[in-house]
């Protein structure tokens, strides 16, 4: 596996596997479509394994390692060729890259789990560092705040990626929230098991985004987006959320002909 201290990025490939995640599949398919379109815009053929399901994180983060392995085993068969695996989620990407090798250490699947972990990349990181994507903003002026999920920040090391991509957009003003590294309170099953704590955390996060002057926020993870935007909608707050790749694609539509 690659060193956590130094990422060794691959050369720009002809093909990638796209692992969409459960939340994208069930709630935010526009983020998956935008991710595919951005990769195709860079001349990359995107392979979408039709049998993909869950990465196993809910079971793993709840302490059910055996059940997590049961969920993950079919996923290990999805990527037979040596192409990068691109994931529009720091959370699911972190599960695959960091925890698959731990879960399958000492098992017959260890080598395959390690190989998949080494090929797993968070989507925005891949677009910036591997594709070296260039963005030309066609949208109207807007003030945006960036929320990077805990896993994207700490496990995938992409906290600086989103701001760099947004910095390419001439009409987008990136505003800085107080305590940007602070959790939104979602944490997958944490929000279900500790609802009062989670509610207090998302209240603080939404207020910090509003206090920064953001008209909307973008994030690398649909779980965070669902939590923060859902809270804002329920409270009647003027704060909308969007996955960053959907936001980027929207900003390019006028020039590139719009989303398919």
pLDDT tens string 196-220: 999 999 999 999 999 999 999 999 9
pTM: 0.92
pLDDT band at 260 (very low <50, low <70, confident <90, very high): very low
Asked if 146 and 124 sit in the same domain, the reply is no
Of 36, 27, 165, 19, which Cα lies nearest the Cα of 94?
19
Give residue-wise pLDDT tens across range 162-180. Answer: 999 999 999 999 999 999 9
Give me the number of domains the chain comprises.
2
- 7 belongs to a structural domain: no
Q: Where are the beta strands (DSSP E) in 93-229?
A: 120-122, 142-147, 172-175, 216-219
Domain boundary among 70, 101, 130: 130
Asked if 29 and 125 sit in the same domain, the reply is yes
pLDDT computed for residue 2 by the predictor: 43
Give residue-wise pLDDT tens across range 179-191. Answer: 999 999 988 778 8
CATH number at residue 90: 3.40.50
pLDDT computed for residue 191 by the predictor: 80
CATH number at residue 198: 3.40.50.1860
- 2 belongs to a structural domain: no
Domain boundary among 87, 110, 130: 130
Average pLDDT of 9-18? 98
């Amino acid at each position: 596996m690659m060193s956590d201290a130094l990422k060794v990025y691959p050369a720009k490939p002809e093909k990638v596997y796209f692992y969409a995640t459960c939340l994208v599949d069930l709630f935010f398919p526009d983020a998956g479509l935008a991710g595919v379109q951005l990769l195709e815009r860079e001349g990359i053929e995107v392979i979408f394994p039709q049998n993909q399901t869950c990465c196993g994180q809910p079971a793993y983060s709840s302490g059910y390692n055996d059940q997590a392995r049961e969920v993950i085993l079919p996923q290990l068969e999805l990527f037979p060729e040596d192409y990068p695996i691109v994931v529009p989620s720091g959370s699911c990407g972190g599960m695959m890259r960091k925890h698959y090798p731990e879960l399958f250490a000492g098992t017959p699947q260890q080598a395959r789990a390690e190989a998949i972990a080494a090929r797993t990349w968070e989507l925005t990181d891949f677009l910036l560092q591997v594709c070296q994507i260039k963005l030309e903003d066609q949208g109207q002026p807007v003030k945006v705040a960036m929320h990077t999920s805990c896993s994207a920040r700490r496990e995938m090391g992409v906290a600086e990626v989103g701001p760099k991509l947004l910095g390419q957009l001439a009409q987008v003003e990136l505003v800085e929230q107080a305590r940007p590294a602070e959790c939104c309170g979602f944490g997958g099953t944490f929000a279900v098991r500790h609802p009062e704590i989670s509610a207090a955390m998302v209240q603080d996060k939404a207020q910090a985004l509003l206090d920064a002057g953001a008209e909307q926020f973008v994030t690398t993870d649909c779980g965070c987006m669902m939590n923060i935007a859902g809270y804002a909608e329920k409270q009647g707050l003027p704060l909308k959320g969007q996955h960053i790749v959907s936001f980027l694609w929207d900003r390019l539509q006028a020039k590139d002909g719009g989303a398919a």
